[in-house]
Amino acid sequence: MAEIQLRNLSKRWGSFVGVDNFDLTIADREFLVLLGPSGCGKTTTMRMIAGLEQATGGDILIGGKRVNDLDPKDRDVAMVFQSYALYPNLDVYENIRFPLKVRRIDPATHRDRVMRAAEMVELTDFLHRRPAELSGGQRQRVALARAIVRQPNVFLMDEPLSNLDAKLRVSTRAQIKNLSHELKVTTIYVTHDQIEAMTLADRVVVMNKGVVQQVGTPTDIYDRPANVFVAGFIGSPAMNLMEGEIRGGVFEGARVRVPGLSAPDGRAVLGFRAEDAGPGAGSEITAPIYTLELLGDSTMVTVRAGGALVSVKAPKDFRAEIGESFSAHVPASICHVFDAATGARR
């Protein structure tokens, strides 16, 4: 069993706080994604779990055993790095086999384990090649196979797709999802890409400035963001956020008027997603078109409402010119209301 418990985990460098009181239990076989912008503390958290960084506070338990004082090699975790970290002088077979040699696993089992790992990531035809002869996607698959061959209790993946082009990211992401299903090993995955988080995770931890902002399933976080930061970080495009005031259930801001809200009076931030609104009757927003983007299945219309750029999805056959007036219907039922002072969900 590889349940991981992080109890008030912290990392500080002098007065700078990298991770602040991270408290979470990661279930056995769960795929957990740490998500956030650069510098939010997600990689530092992973490195503390791996033993590559020393925690300045709190405890790390893997399978019920406190591992704070154990060396990385004794924690039974396998890491997949952003940089692949392959040995250029070894062929693919030997790169995958290397962890077995280092850990002095019975040599009689090496070939079977290497071949099984290579087959899982579709590399059996490339075992004789060296890393320089492989594409970026193939190198990343070698790194995955090298982690798989160890049969660890925990996989740690640090932005493994960030060096790949868009098409390879999609195919390799699907491969990681399938491997997770097959291997059933507890996995912690670090990324700043919210699409990776939404498609891969059982649960997502959204972090900012070393502090956990929200923990939940991808659906929970997308449908009910806990605060303005999460609302603005999750989604492509991000949730529209506009400042204004609520009086008698009516939100009013620059070029925006949305009635029918069940929220207390006062300054507030109103949020809604582009796909939940549309052109037409209601005219809760009326503003000049800032830009138009044809997405294939739809057209993204962006208007400038006061100081905010607001995006609305229109049908793919929608036609207009930049600068024309555009009216959008924003039902109160699809709106999110956040406190203007704290950013917390109301």
Most confident of 47-61, 179-193, 295-309: 47-61
Band the pLDDT of 85: cuts 50, 70, 90: confident
Alpha-carbon distance of 156 to 194, in angstroms, equals 18
* Other CB atoms within 10 A of residue 27 CB: 14
Whether the pLDDT of residue 52 is over 90: the answer is yes
Mean pLDDT value across residues 13-30: 96
Alpha-carbon distance of 86 to 342, in angstroms, equals 46
Rg of the chain on CA atoms, in Å: 24
- Domain 239-339 superfamily per CATH: Nucleic acid-binding proteins (2.40.50.140)
Question: Domain extents for the chain?
Answer: 4-228, 239-339
Whether the pLDDT of residue 164 is over 80: the answer is no
Is there a contact between 163 and 137 (Cβ–Cβ < 8 Å)?
A: no
Output the pLDDT for position 1: 63
Cβ contacts of residue 106 below 8 Å, gap of 6+? none
Whether the pLDDT of residue 283 is over 70: the answer is yes
CA atoms within 13 A on the CB side of 93: 10
Most confident of 165-174, 212-221, 307-316: 212-221
Cβ contacts of residue 84 below 8 Å, gap of 6+? 131, 139, 140, 142, 143, 163
Whether the pLDDT of residue 168 is over 80: the answer is no
Over the stretch 231-253, which tens digit does the pLDDT of each residue have? 999 988 899 999 999 999 999 99
**CATH code reported for the domain at 4-228:** 3.40.50.300
